[in-house]
């Protein structure tokens, strides 16, 4: 007995599902291995088209980041900078129980070079919220300070006696007025 042949639609589904499965398996390889393989450029294009960028670092022996901290720093003219904290809508701080959410946001938005639009949107929303409080004037400067602590290698921990190294970066400073004005005009600033 002969099995019935597949329709062209079913064949397309099988081909796409197989290609996607190969992509997922390829994505699980450590980044150094994946980049050294000849066909990595094809999979990088596939990642961009499907927006399926994956970070499979959970299989590594040592996590990439020991901890992450982020905070909004506000400075009015002639005054010392003040830490506002990492804020959510309504200027609420991240709770201690929400560290996973903060970490995911950091990895997916702040540290991902392809997501600049989200950083811009966050800064505009934060500026708008800060102005709405009435505590800050339009010429007040705001910046986002991000402090990731990257885990050292085992040899580094052993020889230097410290688990992680901090690599701070700052987005800004920007005037609140400029950020809010650009939000209404729809032009990217940060």
The rounded distance, in Å, linking the Cα atoms of 135 and 85 is 15
> Are the CB atoms for 69 and 164 separated by under 8 Å?
no
Q: What is the pTM of this model?
A: 0.56
> In a structure prediction context, what are the per-residue pLDDT tens digits for the chain, which is 190 residues long?
666 777 888 899 999 899 888 888 887 777 778 778 887 888 888 877 877 766 655 555 566 777 777 788 899 988 899 888 766 555 566 665 666 677 777 777 777 777 778 888 888 888 888 888 888 889 999 998 888 888 888 788 888 888 888 888 888 889 988 888 865 555 444 4
The predicted pLDDT at position 67 comes to 76
The predicted pLDDT at position 15 comes to 92
CA-closest candidate to residue 142, choices 118, 175, 116, 110: 175
Q: Which residues of 122-157 are buried (b: 16+ CB within 10 A; e: fewer)?
A: bbbbbbebbbeeeebeeebbbbbbbebbebbeeeee
The Cα-based distances of 147 to 67, 69, 92, 167 in angstroms read 8, 5, 19, 6
The predicted pLDDT at position 141 comes to 93
> Across-strand partners of 166?
149
**HSE of 14, CA atoms in CB hemisphere, 13 A:** 7
């Amino acid at each position: 007995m002969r099995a019935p042949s597949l329709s062209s639609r079913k064949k397309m589904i099988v081909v796409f599902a197989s290609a996607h499965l190969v992509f997922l398996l390829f994505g699980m390889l450590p980044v150094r291995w994946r980049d050294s393989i000849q066909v990595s450029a094809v999979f990088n294009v596939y990642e961009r088209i499907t927006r399926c960028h994956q970070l499979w670092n959970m299989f590594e022996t040592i996590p990439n980041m020991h901890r992450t901290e982020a905070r909004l720093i506000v400075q009015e003219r002639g005054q010392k900078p003040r830490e506002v904290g990492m804020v959510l809508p309504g200027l609420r701080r991240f709770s201690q129980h929400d560290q996973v959410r903060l970490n995911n946001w950091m990895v997916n938005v702040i540290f991902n070079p392809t997501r600049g639009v989200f950083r811009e949107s966050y800064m505009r929303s934060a500026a708008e919220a800060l102005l709405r409080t009435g505590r800050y004037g339009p010429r007040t400067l705001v910046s986002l300070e991000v402090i990731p602590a990257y885990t050292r290698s085992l040899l580094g921990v052993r020889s230097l006696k410290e688990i992680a190294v901090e690599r701070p970066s700052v987005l800004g400073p920007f005037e609140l007025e400029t950020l809010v004005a650009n939000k209404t005009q729809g032009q990217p600033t940060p």
